[in-house]
Structure 1
Amino acid sequence: MTYSEIKYDVADRIATITLHRPESMNAFTGTMMLEMVDALGRADADDEVRAIIVTGEGDRAFCAGADLSQGAKTFDYDARSDRPDKKGGSPVRDDGSIDYSHEAVRDSGGRLTLRIFECVKPVIGAINGAAVGIGVTMQLAMDIRIASESARFGFVFARRGIVPEAASAWFLPRIVGISKALEWCYSGRVFDAAEAHAGGLVSEVVAPTALQSRAREIAREIAENTAPVSIALTRQMMWRMLGADHPMEAHRIDSRAIYARGRQADAKEGIMSFLEKRAPDYPNEVSGDMPDFYPWWDELDYS
């Protein structure tokens, strides 16, 4: 796919996805969603990529939310003809009722966060400026979020007459707790990076000039020292156990993972590199060496 609204770059085993609509503060469109989904798949399939950074172009905005250039039609999907993610026509039946299971009903932000959720590479959000609406909810499926001191956040949906999207009703309370999630969503106010850090939305706040270098420092720590298959398993184990009913579910999976990993070359390399006081060179690859019990969850179509 040729990208027009994002930039994709790989260097030092780190893929960087940059939202690239600086003239509109990197506002989110259906095209941007499709391009980001493609880029995430591209990074996942590349064994040379060990971590992914997502950031925005310029110093004004990470993503200023949905593109509002369609005015009142912005969220009225049936009134719009410019949605590249719209498939199979309208969900409105001949009798006027709505088929809510129709593909055209699906929220494009949710399609993106579900794809991030499925990633086998760690995803780091480097939040360089304004991040409201989908600009903040797309971050919730990322593993580590760091913010520039100039970043601003806002779950502004109720102020626009809609509701939180991008599966944020699942992600946000798990990250910041239900009370803080509701406070931010009920008020719809925009708040600064310090409040985002205090509330647990971001893990650290840095000077604007240090944001990209700090994000790459975190990514390099992962890329240079850890086994990719172990990271892929760990990422899915952690996220999916958030919805588990009992710790026995985690015990079943981590028992399988320890047993399977212990038989692979990575475990031997991890031990020997430590004992020999040298940098590790893990031979196993995500593309071909995931254990045979993976994926352990029911197969679902997130396309």
Structure 2
Amino acid sequence: MSYDSIKTDGATIKTDLADGILTLTLNRPDRLNAFTGQMMQEMIAVFDKADADDSVRAIIITGEGRGFCAGADLAAGGDTFNYDSRTSTTDLPLGRDGKPDLAADPAMRDGGGRLTLRIFNSLKPVIGAINGPAVGIGATMQLPMDMRIASENARFGFVFSQRGIVMEACSSWFLPRLVGIQQAADWAYSGRVFDAQEALAGGLVKEVVPADELLPRARAIARSWTERTAPVSVSLMRQMMWRMLGADHPMEAHRVDSRGIFWRGKQRDVQEGVTSFLEKRLPNFPDKVSTDMPSFFPWYDEPEYK
């Protein structure tokens, strides 16, 4: 399955699929891969296609050139974050103040949030290979990825307070869950840029490696997640863990776990997994994410967030 067809003129991304690993590279190196609406649309389209493509087992996201993503493209100057010109008040529901609720207009939705929600919903595990500066949406788009590893050249910044705006891309939900409220507050309130070692110490990234080892290390991790594992099991567990971050009680996990064990226990993958273990050989799991997800998936119902 080719990914070239989703790219528009002047594409902002590159893709490469090899050995079941899809590498998505942000590709505006002359602008330090600054984020645009077109980049958002192209990245979302890649995730849509990857979910339906059984040849994709894992996704790596990185940046071209010396930057990962320098945040939103600020070419519009002071109006970069002014949404008034993007929407009409016609037929919008009224808010508490009796005025049209602009946030009800899809055109008003934060583009970074649309991307991070799509990554959150991914059926394939995602690794961030952070090669250079990553600030604003460049930092927040990483948060729903399953693991982040950083080059020694990486820099991070949740710079919103220094731009007069607030956290975006659902980062007020993701960041405290990843690093704890104290660390999240320090980075968000100050808006300061910090290096890869501080990101490692604060729990934002799992590893820091030399620049020339970044992509090989990301691919090695991706292979460890995919070479001996059942694709359907990995997809289910990814959603189980992310969804449980918002659960009120472990009983919610118990219910989902029980349904998963019951369903998977009857499928071909389990027979192959047990047999290959007993025969001391590599497994060849037959079930596919595109066709063999269990009948209870998705067990959640949240159309308002899609």
Q: TM-score range by the shorter chain?
A: over 0.9
Letter of the aligned partner of 2:71 in structure 1?
Answer: G
1:103 maps to which residue?
A: 106
Q: Confirm or deny that 1:192 pairs with 2:195.
A: yes
User: Is 1:134 matched with 2:132?
Assistant: no
Task: Give the SS at the match of 2:281.
Answer: coil
Match runs of 1:137-216 below 5 Å = 137-216=140-219
Q: From 75, 79, 82, give the equivalent of 2:81.
A: 75
Opposite residue 70 of structure 2, the aligned amino acid is A
In 1, distance between residues paired with 2:135 and 2:268?
44
Structure 1 CA distance, aligned partners of 2:71 and 2:200? 20
Deviation, structure 1 residue 275: 1.3
Supply the AA of the counterpart residue of 1:213.
P
CA distance, structure 2, for counterparts of residue 274 and residue 249 of structure 1: 31
The match for 1:267 among 252, 263, 270 is 270
Does the aligned pair in 2 maintain the 1:51–1:123 contact within 8 Å? Answer: yes
C-alpha displacement at 1:90, in angstroms? Answer: 2.6
What's the offset of the Cα at 1:268?
1.1
From the superposition, tell whether residues 252 and 97 of structure 1 become closer, same or farther in structure 2 (CA, over 3 Å): closer
Instruction: Look up the equivalent residue of 1:75 and give its one-letter code.
Output: F
Q: 1:198 to 1:11 in 2, by over 3 A?
A: same
Corresponding residue for 2:95?
A: none
Structure 2 length-normalised TM: 0.93
Q: Which moved more, 1:201-210 or 1:69-78?
A: 69-78
Secondary structure of the corresponding residue to residue 286 of structure 1: coil
* Contact 1:92–1:99 (Cα < 8 Å) also in 2: no
1:119 is aligned to 122
| 8 Å contact kept, 1:115–1:302 | no
Specify the alignment match of 1:2 in structure 2.
Answer: 7
Task: Name which of 45, 54, 62 aligns with 2:52.
Answer: 45
- Matches of 1:225 and 1:113, distance apart in 2: 28
Offset, 1:9: 1.5
For 2:220, what is the secondary structure of its paired residue?
helix
TM-score after normalising by structure 1: 0.94
Runs of 4+ in structure 1 displaced over 3 angstroms? 91-98
Q: Matches of 1:301 and 1:120 in 2, distance apart?
A: 19
Q: Secondary structure at the match of 1:7?
A: strand
Paired residues of 1:109 and 1:166 also in contact (CA < 8 A): yes
Distance in 1 (CA, whole Å) between partners of 2:252 and 2:90 is 41
Percent identity between the two aligned chains = 64
Kindly provide the CA deviation profile for residues 203-236 of structure 1, in whole angstroms up to 9, marking residues without a partner as x.
Answer: 0000000000000001111221110000010000
**CA distance in structure 1 between the partners assigned to 2:255 and 2:174 by the alignment:** 24
* CA distance 1:49–1:135, change in 2 (3 Å): same
CA contact (8 A) 1:26 1:62 kept: yes
1:286-297 mapped onto 2 (5 Å cutoff): 286-297=289-300
Deviation track 1:242-298 (CA, whole Å, cap 9, x = no partner) reads 111110000000000011111101111111111111111000000110010110001
Cα separation, 2, equivalents of 1:296 and 1:109: 26
Task: Tell me, in whole angstroms, the C-alpha distance in 2 between the residues paired with 1:16 and 1:294.
Answer: 27
Query: Separation in 2 of the partners of 1:262 and 1:156?
Result: 47
Distance 1:195 1:10 in 2: 32
* Structure 2 residue corresponding to 1:15, chosen from 19, 22, 27: 22
Name the structure 2 match of 1:82. Answer: none
Asked whether the 8 Å contact 1:92–1:98 carries over to 2, the reply is: no
Q: Deviations over 1:95-114 (max 9, x none)?
A: 97543211121000000000
3-state secondary structure, aligned to 1:62: coil
After superposition, the Cα gap between the structure-2 partners of 1:286 and 1:159, relative to the gap in structure 1 and judged at 3 Å, is: same
| Counterpart for residue 65 of structure 1 | 71
